[in-house]
Amino acid sequence: MKKALLYIGIVLLAFGCRQAENDPELLSKGTMPVSISLPVEDSYNPYQVAGRRSIGDPGTTERFAFPRHIYFFVLKYNGATWSIWHKEHLEPLKEDWTPKHYFGRLQSIGDSIFEYNEQINLLLAAEKFAGEVFAIASPNELVFNTPFASIETADQVRNLQFSTADPDTKANLHNIYSTPYNYELSGSYYGAFSSIYQRVPHIDLMLYHVAAKVDITWYVDENNRINKDNPASAVRLTSLKACNLFNGYAYCFKPMKNVVGSAPLATGDTIEIVKRTDEGLWWEGRSYFYTIPYTTTAVGKENYFPLQMQMETNASGNLYRPTLYLEIDPTATFVPWLRADFNLNQPLSAGTDTKVVAKDS
More confident residue, 240 or 27: 240
Q: Which residues contact 162 (CB under 8 A, 6 or more apart)?
A: 136, 138, 142, 143, 144, 145, 169, 176, 249, 250, 252
Q: 298 with 182: CB under 8 angstroms? A: no
Beta bridge pairs of residue 161: 251
pLDDT tens, residue by residue, 94-152: 666 666 677 777 765 556 666 666 665 655 555 566 788 899 989 899 999 999 999 99
CA distance 269 to 244: 5
pLDDT band of residue 360 (cuts 50, 70, 90) is very low
Beta carbons of 242 and 308 less than 8 angstroms apart: yes
HSE toward the beta carbon, residue 347, CA cutoff 13 A: 29
Is the pLDDT score of 285 beyond 70? yes
Q: What is the mean pLDDT of the chain?
A: 75
Please give the pLDDT value at position 120: 57
Name the residue type at position 264: P
CA distance 57 to 290: 13
Distance CA 311, CA 268 (A): 16
User: Per-residue pLDDT for 24 more than 70?
Assistant: no
Instruction: Write out pLDDT tens, residues 193-250.
Output: 776 555 555 677 778 889 998 989 999 888 778 766 666 667 889 999 999 899 999 9
Residue 358: pLDDT band with limits 50, 70, 90: very low
Task: Return the pLDDT at 228.
Answer: 60
The average pLDDT across 279-283 equals 91
Q: Where are the domains of the chain?
A: 5-209, 213-357
The residue among 344 and 354 whose pLDDT is bigger is 344
For the cut 50, the answer to whether the pLDDT of residue 3 exceeds it is no
Q: b vs e for 288-324, b when ≥16 Cβ sit within 10 Å of the residue's Cβ?
A: bbbbbbbbbeeeebeebbbbbbbbbbeeeeebbbbbb
Greatest CA span in the chain, whole angstroms? 91
Stronger pLDDT, 8 or 142, i.e. the higher one: 142
